[in-house]
């Protein structure tokens, strides 16, 4: 998505999250994955090499079981996440040199305003709106944001031709302000390796959360708009570089299962 993610920052984080799933799934099947990040300095798209070796007993089985039940949750939450879950998520991040900051109540309003400002900035850009509209598809038609078949065409027209940033900003700002918990993941620097390290740590934290009935939604607009990222650091008094902003809580109902590609569509052998 060259408009929304021109430097492949979020793409790299997403690939890191997929890497975490492969590691967890391998351990649950009695294998020990050995991971080498950025193994070829001449190939920037070669993000990781995973070598699978046998281990004595399976591990991470609870996390592996949570992989299918961890879609993004986009609505309001019913209850706050248990403190023990937040503590476990923070500890797992810290072990991999990624900081997990729970946003205190006194900073929540400032963050919500930045989320709203990010929405307005993105929707004010016609190229960004067109890219978002092109990313919307009915459930059975490949990658993208899933929209209902009947109203999907109308939704794409509205998104691509109308600036609905003010309405979206009001909604997303309210979600960020009213979430039971909000956390920001930060890294000490902001290079490709930092983003690639963020992905596995993020996914591991999300699997820990899902295993305890906690789900996450994203309020990443201030991280996606480059001009706003330094303001996130300032508003929240962060030492590191903000990479991901999460809303966390217990959902009202199990999240709707989003479509996934068959493995054969993404696995290449040579």
pLDDT tens for 180-219 read: 999 999 999 999 999 999 999 999 999 999 999 999 999 9
Q: What would the mean pLDDT of 5-26 be, rounded to a whole number?
A: 93
pLDDT over 60 at 221, yes or no? yes
Kindly list the domain boundaries of the chain, sorted by start residue.
71-124+163-252
Residue 92, token pair as written in the block: 């797992």
Weakest-pLDDT range from 48-62, 144-158, 183-197, 240-254: 144-158
Separation CA 21–CA 146 (nearest Å): 22
Please answer whether residues 98 and 201 qualify as being in contact, where contact means their C-beta atoms are separated by less than 8 angstroms: yes
Query: What is the reported pLDDT for 118?
Result: 93
Weakest-pLDDT range from 70-74, 142-146, 164-168: 142-146
Q: How far is CA 149 from the centre of its chain?
A: 25
Query: What is the reported pLDDT for 160?
Result: 66
pLDDT over 70 at 155, yes or no? no
Q: Could you tell me the pLDDT band of residue 151, with boundaries at 50, 70 and 90?
A: low
Q: pLDDT for 42-85, tens place per residue?
A: 998 999 999 999 987 898 999 999 998 888 888 899 999 999 99
Q: What is the DSSP letter of 75?
A: S
In percent, the amount of the chain with pLDDT more than 70 equals: 90
| Alpha helices for the chain (secondary structure H) | 9-28, 61-66, 83-94, 105-123, 126-134, 149-161, 165-178, 192-211, 221-224, 229-236, 263-266
Query: What is the reported pLDDT for 265?
Result: 82
CATH code of the region 71-124+163-252: 3.40.109.10
Separation CA 139–CA 256 (nearest Å): 12
3-state secondary structure 201-263: HHHHHHHHHHHCCCEEEECCHHHHCHHHHHHHHHHHCCCCEEEEEEEEEEECCCCCCCCCCCH
pTM, full prediction: 0.88
pLDDT over 90 at 1, yes or no? no
Separation CA 209–CA 185 (nearest Å): 15
- Checking DSSP bridges between strand 99-102 and strand 136-137, what pairing results, if any? unpaired
Cα distances (Å, whole numbers) of residue 2 to 110, 128, 201, 218: 28, 9, 25, 20
């Amino acid at each position: 998505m060259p408009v929304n993610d021109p430097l492949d920052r979020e793409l790299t984080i997403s690939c890191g999250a997929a890497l975490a799933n492969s590691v967890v799934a391998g351990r649950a099947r009695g294998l020990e994955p050995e991971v080498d990040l950025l193994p070829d300095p001449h190939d920037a798209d070669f993000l990781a090499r995973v070598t699978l070796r046998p281990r004595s007993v399976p591990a991470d089985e609870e996390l592996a079981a949570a992989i299918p039940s961890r879609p993004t949750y986009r609505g309001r939450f019913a209850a706050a996440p248990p403190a023990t879950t937040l503590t476990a998520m923070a500890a797992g991040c810290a072990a991999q040199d990624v900081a997990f900051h729970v946003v205190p109540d006194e900073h929540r309003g400032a963050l919500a305003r930045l989320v709203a400002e990010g929405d307005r900035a993105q929707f004010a850009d016609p190229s960004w709106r067109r890219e978002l509209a092109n990313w919307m598809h009915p459930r059975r038609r490949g990658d993208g944001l899933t929209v209902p078949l009947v109203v999907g065409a109308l939704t794409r027209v509205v998104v691509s031709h109308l600036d609905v940033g003010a309405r979206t900003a009001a909604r997303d700002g309210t979600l960020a302000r009213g979430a039971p918990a909000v956390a920001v993941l930060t890294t000490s620097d902001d290079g490709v390796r930092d983003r690639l390290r963020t992905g596995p740590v993020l996914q591991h934290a999300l699997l820990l959360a899902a295993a305890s009935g906690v789900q996450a939604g994203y309020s990443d607009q201030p991280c996606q708009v480059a001009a706003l990222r330094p303001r996130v650091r300032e508003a929240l008094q962060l030492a590191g570089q903000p990479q991901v902003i999460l809303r966390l809580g217990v959902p009202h109902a199990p999240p709707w299962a989003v479509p996934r590609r068959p493995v054969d569509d993404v696995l290449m052998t040579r």
